[in-house]
Structure 1
């Protein structure tokens, strides 16, 4: 008998191979693999009915035969026979209004439901602080596992989703059990199980932190620190990220011998408090030597424990090693700044790009590094600086402001805490910063002859240097002991091990040249001599490309962009790039991506001015702008299929742009090139390539919108408005105003958004562009909607529908119908809402607009939910979710998850709803959306 007093029931198992057991305890033969999969589907979501069409989709994954529906019925019939209990006329598989489902699938019938029930019991005990009860429940749940869920069955559809959910749940339980063991002081016995757990899933960070705590509390502090280094290497190598802020904080606490992480018996630890700890420093210089006096000076200024940490201004001529010194000291003293490090290259002495404004630095680098989401960044610079100072108050941070132009560029970026250390590097002495802000100058002169010799010896090898000591001394003298010049000469000599060092020194002595920005009264310090010597040894193609790279908008350039810049096929440009890399005139910082030091770019700029005509320079600039524009437009069409360029391309791009296979590869390219693309817009404007600037701004809109980079979108569209007016192009100006309005609306600047929409409408009216007018009306309807006035939105949606219908714009017509349906649903006019949405759905599917289709399924779900038909609402929302996931629209997915959770809540399915809200909250928090906080408060109310 079962615990309820009834007859014994069937038992089902899914936590491992799918099995069914009779009430007598016999394992049943389930038949063919398709029958086993069918049973697994019915077990996967207890209480859910499955229609024939749904089962066909799940069983054949889009490859169903024509007889699929009949086959399903055959499988159901065969399974009923296999699962029938002796003496019972009731089938194990029932057919109801919602489809087929298993009978009596409760906690006693399936290990999957039992696992969920025990898990909930454990978490309930945790909330009550009943540690032993929680541990017993969790361990009982884990004991049910016999292997991977649905083991042996192909993973797609619902089985894949449920398998992933259960595996994630199991991993979380293992981590909760480990926390409970740590709380009980069982540190030693936990170490090996944690290592095994990490081997199975090495990218989950929580077990790494638990292992570090267990090792530290077991008296193995060095092993705990080694574990962190192992994780750091793994994450940086596998996914290119740092460990999360919790682990960084834990690492710092272990370094500082935090008393709570010392061997103290069974005292329960507290979890580290989550905190954003920025780690922005570039890697330390590999060839740094000497500078002991300057390093000691920085320590004296920045490590005063009885007073403010202070600000140090490292000054000196270009190439003298200011950044190397700052980075070397910073990496040697990380432990003194437990709240993290911030780093910004201010570009004060760049060549092709403008210096970074303090406002841009705060918005794009410092505030995000301190955990501020895009929508939380104030609009006005004064408020941005105030927020930055507030976030740095009462913290011990190290801030490195590299390559500053003047004191005005630095002053707003000084943190709001006397406990923060600041290092500024500049070629100027910045007397205003010293006088007004109490900064301390650290003058960096040329290294000593011994230090310069040591740098050369380290690169050349002690044996080679010892065999030719006089030549080494002459090289030191001829390079004026300038570290950059020493590095170039050393690299060249090291690349030719058979060359006599004296011959290299003689060649250097015979060369003449120099950089105007680095010229001095002493010819021995003229860097042009060194650089011209390297340049003269280049092949003609490499020399030409070196000159042209100074025309590129950013310091980083891809091989494809270099090919376009040179007007050469990609397969011919790679050897040229390799030659420049070997000569230390370029650095390959990642595969097929190259960096050029600003001094080398300055030298290249002088060379191209001297050797290339203005027409040649203009043609090279146009080729690289053509490249970025062509690839950006191709990518934008994949990211947003409904967005069409206003103008034809101004010219073909040379070379082969990256081949995008889908919108994901396009998004990856935009992500890699985003800094260069933003600089390219400015470069195009500066050199009067207005068509390129406007079209690049258009092409960036889908990408910046997808990443919620609203400040950057506002900046590029402001530029687009300017160049459109300069060109007298009302069509481009209208589009730029409309996209600029989008940025303002997302930044909650609704009045600014309306103002730019009025400008857009005026231009569209001027040129008689009905689709543009319709789109602008839809934007206006959106503003009314988000301000809580759906009735005010309806006239704009109706006008958009009339304009789209009149111009035969099916995509615009569908969007307008959806807007009408949504706003009628907001007014509880459900019948009209559903009718409009169904018309919109048909049109969206006709033009294959997947994003629009997703929007409309979401609107239908909302209408049915408000109508009280919650199961239908759930089905609609699920269709929307599938489409949003496919197109990687995270914001749309999150908003639908919230509403799907509301529908499940209305059905009384509270656990399902809270799970959906948590998933939505994670997405919205990552996007910096204010609704994340509302969801957090809603979830807190349920616990």
Structure 2
């Protein structure tokens, strides 16, 4: 970084030693090492807020001195003095409600400037502007002064950020090498590529680039020797051969491929199996007109250049942007063989909904591109980088519907100019057009002829021809707005005996409209059309329509609607049927209904106008009670020992689904998971903190069984805040503990320990021995997962003592099994078996099915390590039966692996391979990291 460049008041560098330069270019003295480390932590996530507890944890890695919090405040005070800019009154490090935050000017941090230049380069590359891309990439690389955060311990957040930055730099060096190869600078590349390989010898792409450069320089023998060197290195160090593409490149060089000496294409990377996503919703029924706009999309997205690019379809609400995009997309599927992605960004939903942040959206798109849930990076920047990488060489169609602004869209643009992107928005998004090369397609109202065609297609030609004047008036009264025309036509079709003129007359005298969809032209006001439909409802159906707008999500089951109404399901069914006939609800599957966001917005306005605040709150409570009660019943079937702390008094008339067993409970949860998560947000938004806390407690066994660790973490973070607001330390402790579980499963071990310390502090304050015991068990799990079974032993012993003293039989059994497993891992087999057998006796006494499965697995492991293979196999088989009954796929897979190991140990290779393959199928489906290791093991035994 050049400290003298530009007018910024202060410049910060982390791409090398952590350094700060004043506006005059002077390097500032930053103080003692711990003070520099604190600054580095703040710089690792610019503009993020850090609590004192988090900073203490990062600085001392779990072993802080008693004065740690005071030391942090002292470091902050000293850094503020160092970083104060002349003439600026505000400190560089601000204190807010959650902690400390370092305020940076734009481009003041070299890592941010590096990211910006990198993105500019990739944008130029998507447009085939190779020289511009190369200049941007080389400017980005010039910012590096050494290893990121050089001289600081590589722990915690600095370790992950350092790894991310170094990965980005390596990828960028490879892109630069590709560009130089395209430009024919192969001679200049040879030595830099050798240096790059020396620094990271297991990355195959630079080896391929070096082979190409040598071959093009006429050094065929050296290119072949380079391949032999790579082959030896991979074989010696990791026991594998070069990838198939490097093998193919080697063959081409052997054959003196003439095309290789002139081609500018880079050596292909190792191919990976691809999922072809098909996410488009169904095409619009009875779509008419828009021929000009469809042709325009074809020209922009399927031009002769081979580049697809981005198109923004803009227009007023209800004008048919999504219909147009879907119609064109379905007509053009064959042009995008690598699939289609679709997401509703929610930019213009109801007043109580927020637009989906791009950080949430990208996490939902990665699984569609083949990324397993546990493989999704924790950092948003890494998620976006992975998304761009996965789309970089594909021909995909991406439909980003209902965008709020350019900033919501920009991070979601694919990493390839071969991908087509359609964005729909009520805004024109000039920033996307000006800065990102998007093309705008403005969607105006359809012509009168097209509007008539739409009505005729729905009403039937005979009825429309019999009343032409009424059809003309309907077109006029609806201002030709497609959504309004469709609603009117649907209503008329549902009342075939109504004269069309009567419908037109009703529209003429009705006033009002949806404020969220109002336009400068009053004739496009949808409230007229919606109020007309609403006023024809019976009193019961009208009341239910209003109340359904208070439901946390757009889809609702008949049972949830009955609970919301406070009526038995058979009494509410006629009103649901009436709303369905009036097209104010759609029954998307038996007993499950969907209400469009625009209709929900209208219902919200109506309930605000007609129902008291007390009545609305009562409705919200009834529906939250319904989901909390149902989720609780499901959780108790999935985990027979599950119970919430101080259960809430729930509404007595809340209708509930009936669960035959834990399998039907899990099937129900799969359907309702999105609604349940929305209910947690709704509870917090409307002041039902007690419900939010209990939702988190109830959803833990369900989300855990389904391996939904990101969602579990989000719910428990909400519960921590809600419990804190309620001054409920017991609930806060439980939320911290279960939040730690989510971090543990995502392999964020430091974060897990942080929350477990918080949980333990509150349990200690309460004197809650079962809570203390369970927290010790989680800590033991953390250490064991990190490969430190000896460090887990003290926590297992503490858990056992606490469970014994509180007469907690399930907790005692779990502690005994934890100790048995740890001793087995340490090859103290006799002690391991003794602890596990004691655990089994207790688990059978308290009927803990899943705990019993865990213990049989531990016993199998102990006997296997002891060399008593028949007994080990028998124990593993018992565990498998219990895991299968509980539908615990993760537990079943892990035991299958160990059972395969036992058969392999006695030379039964066929059985072991079969068991490992069965385990791999499960682990790969749920995205478990062990799937990769197991795949390599299977490959070795083929």
Q: Quick one: structure 1 residues 734 and 431, their matched pair in 2 at CA, closer, same or farther if it must change by over 3 Å?
A: same
Residue 382 of structure 1 deviates from its aligned partner by 0.7
Distance 1:404 1:572 in 2: 40
Offset at residue 529 of structure 1 (A): 1.1
1:573 aligns with 2:572: yes
Partner of 2:790: 791
Deviation of residue 308 (structure 1)? 2.3
Q: Return the alpha-carbon distance in structure 2 between the equivalents of residues 567 and 423 of structure 1.
A: 44
Post-superposition offset of 1:307 = 4.5
Match of 1:600 in 2: 599
Indicate the structure (1 or 2) with the bigger Cα radius of gyration: 1
**Residue of structure 1 equivalent to 2:133:** none
Task: Say whether the 8 Å CA contact 1:396–1:421 is kept in structure 2.
Answer: yes
RMSD of aligned Cα (Å):
1.2
- Name the structure 1 match of 2:358: 358
Give the Å deviation of 1:660: 1.0
Q: Once the 2 structures are TM-superposed, how far is the Cα of residue 576 of structure 1 from its aligned partner? A: 0.7
Report the equivalent of 2:774: 775
Q: Contact 1:346 / 1:356 at 8 angstroms: preserved in 2?
A: yes
Deviations for 1:602-646, whole angstroms, at most 9, x for unmatched residues? 111111111111111111111111111111111111111222101
Would you say 1:765 and 2:764 are equivalent positions?
yes
- In structure 2, the partner of 1:281 is 280
Contact 2:316–2:519 (Cα < 8 Å) also in 1: no
* Separation (CA, whole Å) in 2 of partners of 1:354 and 1:646: 31
Whole-Å separation in 2 of the counterparts to 1:310 and 1:632: 45
Deviation by residue 1:184-206 (Cα, 9 ceiling, x = unmatched): xxxxxxxxxxxxxxxxxxxxxxx
Q: Is the 8 A contact 1:857 1:876 kept in 2?
A: yes
Please, which moves more after superposition, 911-920 or 641-650? 641-650
Number of the residue aligned with 2:450: 451
SS at match of 1:911: helix
Q: CA deviation at 1:767?
A: 0.9
Residue 554 of structure 2 corresponds to 555
**TM-score, length basis structure 2:** 0.70
Say which SS state the counterpart of residue 593 (structure 2) adopts.
Answer: strand
- Cross-structure match for 1:129: none
What is the 5 A alignment of 1:445-484?
Answer: 445-484=444-483
- What secondary structure does 2:740 align onto? helix
Once the two structures are TM-superposed, the CA of residue 273 in structure 1 deviates from its matched residue by: 8.5
Equivalent residue, structure 2, for 1:848: 847
What corresponds to 1:496 in structure 2? 495
Contact kept, 8 Å, 1:626 with 1:653, in 2: the verdict is no
Aligned-residue offset at 1:601 = 1.2
Show the counterpart of 2:705.
706
Task: Tell me if the contact between 1:901 and 1:914 (Cα under 8 Å) persists in the aligned partners.
Answer: yes
Map of 1:414 onto structure 2? 413
Q: Is the 8 A contact 1:650 1:692 kept in 2?
A: no
Counterpart Cα distance in 2 of 1:650 and 1:447 = 55
What displacement does 1:565 show?
1.5
1:274, distance to aligned residue in structure 2 (A): 4.3
Q: Per the alignment, in what secondary structure is the counterpart of residue 702 of structure 2?
A: helix
Q: Is the 8 A contact 2:880 2:895 kept in 1?
A: yes
Provide Cα deviations, 1:130-151, integer angstroms capped at 9, x if missing partner: xxxxxxxxxxxxxxxxxxxxxx
1:35 corresponds to which residue? none
Counterpart Cα distance in 2 of 1:872 and 1:743: 34
Shift of 1:498: 1.5
Does the CA contact (< 8 Å) of 1:624 and 1:653 recur in 2? no
Residue 397 (structure 1) shift: 0.3
Shift of 1:783: 1.0
Match of 2:617 in 1: 618
Aligned residue for 2:918? 919
Contact kept, 8 Å, 2:563 with 2:654, in 1: the verdict is yes
Cα distance in 1, alignment partners of residues 582 and 825 from structure 2: 66
1:142-184 Cα distance to aligned partner (Å, 9 max, x none): xxxxxxxxxxxxxxxxxxxxxxxxxxxxxxxxxxxxxxxxxxx
CA distance in 2, matches of 1:464, 1:767: 75
Residue 520 of structure 1 and its aligned partner are, at CA, apart by 3.3
What aligned pairs does 1:55-74 form with structure 2 within 5 A after superposition? none
Query: Partners in 2 of 1:653 and 1:432 — Cα distance?
Result: 54
- Per the alignment, in what secondary structure is the counterpart of residue 304 of structure 1? coil
2:796–2:815 CA contact under 8 A, matched in 1:
yes
Shift of 1:841: 0.3
Aligned to 1:343: 342
Aligned counterparts of 1:508 and 1:921: Cα–Cα separation in 2: 62
* Residues 844 and 852 in structure 2, CA contact (< 8 A), matched pair in contact too: yes
3-state DSSP of counterpart to 1:652: coil
The gaps in structure 2 that reach 5 residues or longer are 1-270
1 CA distance for matches of 2:522 and 2:854? 69
Structure 1 match to 2:128: none
Query: Is the 8 Å Cα contact of residues 781 and 794 (structure 1) preserved in structure 2?
Result: yes
- 1:392–1:417 Cα contact (<8 Å) kept: yes
1:695 corresponding residue in structure 2: 694
Secondary structure of residue in 2 paired with 1:490: helix
Distance 1:827 1:554, change over 3 A: same
State the alpha-carbon separation in 1 of the partners of residues 524 and 931 from structure 2: 58
What does residue 373 of structure 1 align with? Answer: 372
CA distance, structure 2, for counterparts of residue 354 and residue 846 of structure 1: 50
Name structure 1 gaps, 5 residues minimum. 1-271
Structure 2 CA distance for aligned equivalents of residues 657 and 461 of structure 1: 43
TM-score (norm 1): 0.70
Q: Deviations over 1:276-306 (max 9, x none)?
A: 1000000000121100111111111111231
SS at structure 1 position matched to 2:503: helix
Counterpart CA distance in 2 for 1:647 and 1:502 is 61
Q: Is the 8 A contact 2:294 2:324 kept in 1?
A: yes
Aligned to 1:738: 737
What is the alpha-carbon distance in structure 2 between the residues aligned to residue 605 and residue 647 of structure 1? Answer: 33
- Give the number of equivalent residue pairs: 671
- Residues 98-113 of structure 1 correspond to what in structure 2 (within 5 A)? none
How far residue 595 of structure 1 moved from its aligned partner, in angstroms, is 1.2
Note the C-alpha offset of 1:524: 2.1
